[in-house]
Amino acid sequence: MIRFDNVTKSYKGAMPALRDISLEMLKGEFVFLVGSSGSGKTTFLKLLLREELPDQGRIWVAGRDIGQLSQWRVPYLRRNLGCVFQDFRLLPNKTVAENVAFALEVIGRPRGQIKTQVTQVLELVGLGQKHERMPDELSGGEQQRVAIARAFVNRPLVLLADEPTGNLDPATSQGIMKLLDRINRTGTTVVMATHDVGIVDTMRRRVVELDRGHLVRDQARGVYGYAADLNSSSRGVPAVSVAAGRSAYDDDGAGEPITNRVAAVRARRGQR
Amino acid sequence: MGVSVDYVAKETATNLWRNRMMALAAILTVAVSLSLVGTALLLRQAVNRQISAWGHNVNVQIFMNADATTSQVANVRSMIKQTPQITNFTYLGHKASYAQAKKILAGDPAAIGVLTAQTTPTVFRVQLKDPAEAATVVSTFNSGVPGVYQATSPSQSIHVMQEVTNVLQIILLVIAIVLLVSSLVLILNAIRMAIFARRREVGVMKLVGATNWFIRVPFMLEGLVQGLLGAIVAVVIVLLSNIGVNYLINKYHVSLLGSTVLPTHDLLMTELLVVAVGVVVGVAGSSVAVRRFLDV
């Protein structure tokens, strides 16, 4: 679904934001992107959206090399990528239903289709009763649900979430994570950049850790901290970062080697 | 790309209304500048028509003193016959000349009251082989021939008139161009503000994969509408001023200026040009704004 081949990206006059990143995310995976501020998480997402172009390397989304896309095709790429942010980015002068419908209107969907899809997706995110509310009448968690509904209403292949729980309390965050998990179960790849240790540790999904632009960990069913298992990070990860030692969290052997994990995901897809 | 018509129309209308003061300023500036453009063009056409109408019988008029003696008149007549450049002439005696004066001065009864048949100068109307010789002929008869009050050539007046209208036209066009540039900048600014006011929407549109043209078109259309509305106001102004001038010419029977009444075809072409310029200014202003401020 998503593949990075030796991707390097730097901004003018600054240290490279991403250095020689290679990784693959499969269809239906749920991936946490962790790392401190400035580690390159946002750049990673921007490259996926083709808001930025890599300096070196190639990025593949749904079988397309997005570096080769002509400018006018970029919008069509983005229709396959739903996006959720920490600050929701709802339109304050539109109702909940209008906010969600807007995403379909502006890509020229017919009115009848918009109506059914909006109703469906608002039901899915648990806002079936709040169609006509304005965003400022909703709680933060509800606003984020609207944002997720908007990102998901067009059934994208991938849902990108940049710290979607960053503004929410832990209980509300739990609800949002359940929702993202539910969306993931429909076969949508979810890539979530986060700082939330608790969420990463409880979900136990694949964790990709960036540190100052380097990929330092790629671990199936991982946890947040610098707690990589030496065996589980097998993809050209610098030794210094993996030498941090075995973590208490990993005692249950959850950090299985990545190659097995890929096989497991493939098997799971086969079952569906 | 299914850019739905009603979506674009709705967006454009909302934008215009939200930004109405700015839009009004832009529209009025376009209207004023295009009125000047239209007027300048009509003026030139009218003058050209009038000049060519006069040019058909470019001649020299030799006005005799009102009290010129019969022998003086006879003397001038024989001089005219001997002048090789002159092909033809007519003499208007006191009565005919008075009738002519009454026609020309129809709008000025006070002036007619002063005149009688006896105090009206008699006139030789002379036709030339080549209108370019007018100046020589005029100077011959102005060099103190007894009984001659003055020889004049309309070509001189035509020349002056042409000069004056040329200057006037240039002034009008310069003002119009300055105003057009400022209306372009006003439209650009109006669109820029519209883009700024809608930056959230634009951000979301980009995110969910609206095509670049889908995002741009409402803004460009907004500029086009501003240019078009300004042009329509200008068309009305030009039309009204044309009607006004025609009314004055008819009211005072100024047959001399009869040819300045433009045929519908010329008027229509000018008005179309005004509309086209308005649209171009609107689209140009909004295109620049969209290119510079709408980062898609």
Place of tokens 């063009």: B41
Residue B92: strand pairing partners: B123
To test the contact with chain A by mutation, choose from B208, B212, B213 the residue with the greatest count of A C-beta atoms within 10 A, namely B208
Whether chain B has a CB inside 8 Å of the CB on A106: the answer is yes
Give the residue with greater pLDDT, B274 vs A14.
Answer: B274
Look at B3 and A108 and tell me if their CB atoms are within 8 Å: yes
**Kind and range of the H or E element at B46?**
helix B20-55
Give the residue with greater pLDDT, A141 vs B138.
Answer: A141
Residues of chain B with C-beta less than 8 angstroms from the C-beta of A81: 209
Q: What is the pTM of this model?
A: 0.70
Condensed to tens digits (0 to 9), the pLDDT of residues B127-177 reads 877 767 777 888 888 888 888 888 887 766 777 777 888 888 889 889 888
To test the contact with chain B by mutation, choose from A71, A106, A136 the residue with the greatest count of B C-beta atoms within 10 A, namely A106
Nearest residue in A to B199, CA atom? A91
Residues of chain B with C-beta less than 8 angstroms from the C-beta of A79: 208-209
DSSP symbols for A199-221: HHHHH--EEEEEETTEEEEEETT
The whole-angstrom distance between A103's CA and the closest CA on chain B is 6
Whether residue A256 has pLDDT greater than 90: no
| pLDDT value of position A228 | 45
3-class secondary-structure state, position A138:
coil
Residue A180 identity (one-letter amino acid): L
| pLDDT value of position B288 | 94
- The least confident of A16-20, B104-108, B268-272 is B104-108
The whole-angstrom distance between B3's CA and the closest CA on chain A is 6
Condensed to tens digits (0 to 9), the pLDDT of residues B184-211 reads 998 999 899 889 988 999 999 999 999 9
Quickly state the pLDDT bin for A245 (edges 50, 70, 90): very low
Four-CA torsion A91, A92, A93, A99, nearest 10 degrees:
40
Look at A78 and B200 and tell me if their CB atoms are within 8 Å: no
Residues of chain B with C-beta less than 8 angstroms from the C-beta of A150: 204, 208
Q: Give the mean pLDDT of A110-125.
A: 94
Residues of chain A with C-beta less than 8 angstroms from the C-beta of B203: 89
ipTM for this model: 0.77
Residues of chain A with C-beta less than 8 angstroms from the C-beta of B210: 75, 106-107
Q: Give the mean pLDDT of A195-203.
A: 90
Of residues B200, B203, B210, nearest to A107 (C-beta):
B210
| pLDDT value of position B256 | 62
Mean of all residue pLDDT scores within chain B: 84
Whether residue A259 has pLDDT greater than 60: no
**Kind and range of the H or E element at B197?**
helix B154-197
User: Which tokens sit at A175?
Assistant: 């609800």
